């Protein structure tokens, strides 16, 4: 199975979401070598163009890439899977790739250049979610995918 890396912008501030992350990160460790990387957000002053913030944050994100990382950027506009499809896709990737990196942007999302650079863009929902909620949602789906791949019961 591939090494899994999740790169996020900023630390998670809401206590209940941080607790949820810990819950799923612990479960995921059983299935894969997982690293969680938090990149510093760019301080926004009034008048800082949003594109500039996204571009600076992208600069910090790419530093965390490994040359062999298969890059999956999360964005509302990306490809939507159902859970079985997502699990099947991950399993297929595991045959050809040894490193997978998921990238979740900050409050302003990811830069267009980063979305282009990614091997694929994955959408959890058409709805806009906070960048902190997306983390919990992704972790739950990764856990669900591993239970599907391993033909295990999903533990609630």
Residues in contact with a copy of itself by CB under 8 A are 13-17, 19-20, 23, 76, 80-83, 86, 107, 124-130, 132-133, 136-137, 140-141, 144, 156
Please, which residue, 69 or 104, has the CB nearer to a copy of itself?
A: 104
Nearer to a copy of itself by Cβ, of 119 and 128: the residue is: 128
Q: Which of 117, 121, 104, 91 is nearest to 2 (CA)?
A: 91
Task: Choose between 20 and 54: whose C-beta lies nearer to a copy of itself.
Answer: 20
Cα–Cα distance between 86 and 144 in angstroms, integer? 10
Least distance (Å) from a copy of itself to the CB of residue 127?
5
User: Cβ of residue 125: shortest distance to a copy of itself, in angstroms?
Assistant: 4
Q: What does the DSSP assignment read for 49-117?
A: -HHHHHHHHHHHHHTT--TTPEEEEEEEEEEE--HHHHHHHHHHHHHH-SEEEEEE-BTTB--HHHHHH
Closer by beta carbon to a copy of itself, 24 or else 70:
24
C-alpha separations of 105 from 5, 45, 50, 132, 139 in Å: 14, 18, 13, 9, 15
Q: How far is the CB of 114 from a copy of itself (least distance, A)?
A: 21
Q: Which is nearer to a copy of itself, 41 or 101 (CB)?
A: 41
Three-state secondary structure call for residue 130: coil
- Least distance to a copy of itself from the beta carbon of 156, Å? 6
**Closest distance between a copy of itself and the C-beta of residue 16, in Å?**
4
């Amino acid at each position: 199975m591939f090494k899994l890396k999740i790169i996020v912008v900023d630390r998670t501030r809401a206590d209940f979401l941080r607790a949820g992350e810990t819950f799923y990160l612990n479960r995921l460790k059983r299935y894969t070598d997982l690293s969680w990387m938090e990149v510093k957000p760019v301080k926004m002053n009034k008048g800082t163009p949003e594109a500039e913030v996204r571009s600076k944050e992208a600069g910090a994100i790419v530093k965390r890439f490994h040359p062999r990382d298969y890059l999956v950027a999360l964005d509302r506009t990306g490809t939507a899977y159902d859970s079985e499809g997502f699990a099947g896709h991950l399993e297929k990737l595991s045959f050809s790739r040894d490193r997978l990196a998921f990238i979740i942007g900050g409050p302003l999302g990811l830069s267009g250049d980063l979305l282009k650079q990614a091997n694929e863009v994955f959408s959890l929902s058409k709805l806009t979610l906070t960048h902190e909620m997306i983390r919990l949602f992704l972790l739950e789906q990764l856990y669900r995918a591993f239970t599907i791949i391993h033909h295990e019961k999903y533990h609630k």
